[in-house]
Amino acid sequence: MDGIKSAQHLGESWWNFFDYCFNHNPTALICEPFWARFIGAFIATGVIAVLYGAWKYIDYRRKYAAALRAEWERGQVDEAAIREASWDGDKAYQSHLPDDEVLQRIRAAVEQRKQTANAPLSGA
């Protein structure tokens, strides 16, 4: 209970000081430290706000420059690299020959493989 009363008494004394310096006699000699701290806190708050605003502005400008750079890089198209990286495997099975001739060549290749597979081994 004594702690609550002492805290209440301390709060009342600070409130009375604030009330005297703010409402009754702001130019009193005893109020100079109060006003010095009050003005200092106000200036510090302003400086912090300006620094935060400048930091956010620089941060936004940096991100905007990075976005513009990324957009420019996406706009650069390297046709040779795209052609080199594209899939050409399906073209290997396309032929300018008619279907009958392709079938004839396949049959000839199969017959040649059968003959080499059935040939006797020499030199053994």
Please say whether the beta carbons of 33 and 25 come within 8 A: no
In a domain, 39, yes or no: yes
Question: Can you give the pLDDT at residue 55?
Answer: 98
Q: Residue 92: which pLDDT band, with cuts at 50, 70 and 90? A: low
Whether residue 93 is contained in a domain is answered as no
With beta carbons less than 8 A apart as the criterion, state whether 13 and 21 touch: no
* Position 20 in a domain: yes
The answer to whether position 81 is within a domain reads yes
- Non-local CB neighbours of 21 within 8 Å, separated by 6+ positions: 28, 30, 31, 34, 35
91: DSSP letter:
G
pLDDT band at 70; cut points 50, 70, 90: very high
23: containing domain: 11-88
- Specify the pLDDT at position 90: 66
In the chain, how many domains are there? 1
115 within domain boundaries: no
64 domain residue, yes or no: yes
User: How many other CB atoms are found less than 10 A from the CB of residue 20?
Assistant: 15
In a domain, 79, yes or no: yes
Cβ neighbours around 31 below 10 Å, total: 18
Q: Is residue 70 part of a domain?
A: yes
Confidence (pLDDT) at 121: 66
| Integer Cα distance of 39 and 58 in angstroms | 28
